[in-house]
Amino acid sequence: MSGNSFGKLFTVTTFGESHGPAIGCVIDGCPPGLVLSEADIQPELDRRKPGTSRHVTQRQESDTVEILSGVYQGVTTGTPIALLIRNEDQRSKDYGNIAESFRPGHADYTYWHKYGVRDPRGGGRSSARLTAPVVGAAAIAKKWLLQQYGTTFKGCMSQLGDIAVPFQSWDHVHANPFFAASDDAALIASMEEAMDQLRRDGDSIGARIDVIAQNVPVGLGQPIYDKLDADIAYAMMGINAVKGVEIGAGFDSVAQKGSEHGDELTPEGFVGNNAGGVLGGISTGQEISVSIAIKPTSSIRTPRRSIDKEGHPVMVETFGRHDPCVGIRATPIAEAMLALVLIDHALMHRAQCGDVAVSTPKLK
């Protein structure tokens, strides 16, 4: 209610700061009877953790997760599941110079004015490190959705700065450091070069990420206002650095005519998917498709104008360990948020309509 919980029935409440003793979350509402251990969660955390290539932050965190509650003899009991991740690499000295001034593009200025107090170490609570607990929670959601409906999630980077990455196949996503759905070696090389140049320049760049969910039951979404797409937009815009969200045809819809946009139906299924799998705020049973815009990392080595807490002009240059493109690690995070939205709506749906409705036959 005060902002640090996600979801209404599968509720994830996170806590922690970038350089505090620990981060973690409490998951309330997980269905009982799910076989679960740390081994189900750790792989998802490993996909987003820092230090996996030279193109991301070199902070060393094992992100080892410990389940503190809610699981007995390897099975969820229906009671809250607490996940704990101890912070290991807290080089607070890197951040000493930013306690008194506000880094452009960061939450420093707003946290200070909202709360009158601020934990400046690594961005405190506003750090992208806080995406780890929700990725952990979403690993549980994904497992349940897969078992219940066969739902799966995929994501890729479709644009890095001005380099478009045409989609080839989901198979390629984990074969390169960018989550690119491409095996075009020249393209990947150009991305590597662009990133290396940014590092040399002390600058950063934005990215576009696409995520989908497949095998989603028809009927998820609470119109109006907790529509499935509204909650997806909420989830995605809530990820650090996201500035735009599209469902299906997204902004291309503006220039489309009704005779072109509205997806026709035949006995075999929908003919197209401009809807992105959502009509009237409710899932159609088609693939849910989402695209997000991620701004360039605000922490850069280029000196920039700012002010200190007294309002005096200062120059700010951020040292320390940063991702030159936060978009690179955003794919598993966006998948995670989508999974959390879907499990919440799945539970909400069966509350009101029962199990039967969820198994309604559906078109593809």
Q: Please, what is the minimum distance in Å from the beta carbon of residue 2 to a copy of itself?
A: 3
Query: Which residue, 114 or 174, is less far from a copy of itself as judged by CB?
Result: 114
Under the criterion CB under 8 A, does residue 331 sit at the interface with a copy of itself?
A: no
Query: Which residue, 171 or 326, is less far from a copy of itself as judged by CB?
Result: 326
Residue 148: Cβ-neighbour burial (10 angstroms; 0-12, 13-18, 19+):
middle
Under the criterion CB under 8 A, does residue 307 sit at the interface with a copy of itself?
A: yes
- Residues in Cβ contact with 360 at an 8 Å cutoff, skipping those fewer than 6 apart: 217, 218, 219
Residue 275 annotated in ligand binding? no
Query: Which residue, 69 or 214, is less far from a copy of itself as judged by CB?
Result: 69
Q: Which stretch binds a copy of itself (CB under 8 A): 42-50, 123-131, 170-178, 184-192?
A: 123-131
Q: Please, what is the minimum distance in Å from the beta carbon of residue 100 to a copy of itself?
A: 13
Question: Are 75 and 33 contacting, i.e. CB atoms less than 8 angstroms apart?
Answer: yes
Residue 48 annotated in ligand binding? yes
Under the criterion CB under 8 A, does residue 273 sit at the interface with a copy of itself?
A: no
Euclidean distance between CA atoms 360 and 343, whole angstroms: 17
Under the criterion CB under 8 A, does residue 229 sit at the interface with a copy of itself?
A: yes
Choosing from 44, 45, 70, 336, the residue that interacts with a copy of itself (CB under 8 A) is 70
Q: Please, what is the minimum distance in Å from the beta carbon of residue 211 to a copy of itself?
A: 15
For residue 238, count other CB atoms closer than 10 A to its CB.
13
Query: What does the buried/exposed string (b/e) look like for 84-112 if buried means 16 or more CB atoms within 10 Å of the residue's CB?
Result: bbbbeebeeebbebbeebbbebbbbbebe
Euclidean distance between CA atoms 140 and 332, whole angstroms: 14
Under the criterion CB under 8 A, does residue 249 sit at the interface with a copy of itself?
A: yes
DSSP structure class, residue 129: G
Q: Which stretch binds a copy of itself (CB under 8 A): 8-16, 36-44, 137-145, 175-183?
A: 8-16
Question: Are 20 and 350 contacting, i.e. CB atoms less than 8 angstroms apart?
Answer: no
Given phi > 0 = left and psi -120 to 50 = alpha, else beta, which region is 78? Answer: left
Query: Which residue, 77 or 190, is less far from a copy of itself as judged by CB?
Result: 77
Main-chain dihedrals φ then ψ at residue 247, nearest 5 degrees: -115, 130
Q: Which of residues 332-351 bind a copy of itself (CB under 8 A)?
A: 347-351
- Residues in Cβ contact with 289 at an 8 Å cutoff, skipping those fewer than 6 apart: 210, 211, 212, 247, 248, 273, 276, 277
Amino acid identity, position 122: G
Of 154, 226, 235, 217, nearest in space to 346 by CA: 217
Q: Which stretch binds a copy of itself (CB under 8 A): 88-96, 172-180, 181-189, 277-285?
A: 277-285
Under the criterion CB under 8 A, does residue 122 sit at the interface with a copy of itself?
A: no
- Residues in Cβ contact with 304 at an 8 Å cutoff, skipping those fewer than 6 apart: 103, 104, 315, 316, 317
Choosing from 43, 96, 166, 223, the residue that interacts with a copy of itself (CB under 8 A) is 223
Choosing from 215, 295, 317, 321, the residue that interacts with a copy of itself (CB under 8 A) is 295
- Residues in Cβ contact with 35 at an 8 Å cutoff, skipping those fewer than 6 apart: 74, 75
Under the criterion CB under 8 A, does residue 205 sit at the interface with a copy of itself?
A: yes
Question: Are 317 and 304 contacting, i.e. CB atoms less than 8 angstroms apart?
Answer: yes
Count of residues that bind a copy of itself according to CB under 8 A: 160
Q: Which of residues 90-109 bind a copy of itself (CB under 8 A)?
A: 102-109
Choosing from 36, 56, 65, 82, the residue that interacts with a copy of itself (CB under 8 A) is 82
Euclidean distance between CA atoms 126 and 115, whole angstroms: 13
Under the criterion CB under 8 A, does residue 35 sit at the interface with a copy of itself?
A: no
Residue 306 annotated in ligand binding? no
Under the criterion CB under 8 A, does residue 8 sit at the interface with a copy of itself?
A: yes
Given phi > 0 = left and psi -120 to 50 = alpha, else beta, which region is 4? Answer: alpha
Query: Which residue, 93 or 185, is less far from a copy of itself as judged by CB?
Result: 93
Choosing from 44, 63, 119, 210, the residue that interacts with a copy of itself (CB under 8 A) is 119
Annotated binding site for NADP(+): 48, 54
Annotated binding site: 48, 54, 125-127, 240-241, 280, 295-299, 321
Annotated binding site for FMN: 125-127, 240-241, 280, 295-299, 321
